[in-house]
Amino acid sequence: MGRRKIEIEMVKDSNSRQVTFSKRRTGVFKKANELATLCGVQIAIIVFSPGGKPFSFGHPNVEFVAQRFLNRDKKPKVSAGSLVDSQQEARLEKLNSQLNDILRKLQYERKRGELLEKAMKLKGSEPKLIGELNLDELRKMKGELEELQEKLRGRVTEMEASSSLLLLSKKPTREKHQ
């Protein structure tokens, strides 16, 4: 089905509006984080949910950006703290980068999970809990697990052999001087 264009207007149903708010808020904060990381900008976003609960995102933080905005006519103070600020900013950039990596991995795993669920539905087999399996199904599963274990042992042996060969190939060879 894919994405479809929706008319931008207020969502009438309050439950749907709350769900839409949560999803859009996450997306906006993610985009703000990407903007801050890619362009090195300072950004602050404050939103209130339909229920009146406040949410905020800031880089480096909301308070810093708000103070800078409110005091924009004054020249920034240069002090010994600026070294600490730059160290904190570098640390924040590193943390933002790690967050982006984790978010990418999370998105990948969600898509992977969706694909696995679709594949299982197409196959027509819903997963059962072990307690729901009968004796024949348990024996079949045991055989499959033993087969998998043997394949894994073979793969581990291959990897160990490859690793050993790699290590041997990296050792410097000594030339005999006679």
- Contacts of residue 42, Cβ cutoff 8 Å, sequence gap at least 6: 36, 58, 59, 60, 64, 65, 68
113-141 pLDDT, tens digit per residue, is 888 888 777 776 666 777 888 889 889 98
The pLDDT of residue 94 is above 60: yes
Does the N-terminal peptide bond of residue 76 adopt cis geometry, omega within 30 degrees of 0? no
- Report pLDDT for 78: 47
Q: Which residue has the higher pLDDT, 149 or 177?
A: 149
Helix, strand, or coil (residue 56): strand
Looking at 3.20.190.10, 3.30.70.260, 3.30.1280.10, 3.40.1810.10, the CATH number of the domain 11-74 comes to: 3.40.1810.10
Residue 15, CA distances (Å) to 51, 109, 177 in order: 11, 27, 83
The pLDDT of residue 58 is above 70: yes
- The average pLDDT across 77-100 equals 71
- Report pLDDT for 54: 92
Domain boundaries, the chain: 11-74, 82-125, 135-167
Task: Name the range with the highest mean pLDDT among 8-12, 44-48, 166-170.
Answer: 44-48
Task: Name the range with the highest mean pLDDT among 89-93, 107-111, 165-169.
Answer: 107-111
The pLDDT of residue 177 is above 90: no
The pLDDT of residue 19 is above 80: yes
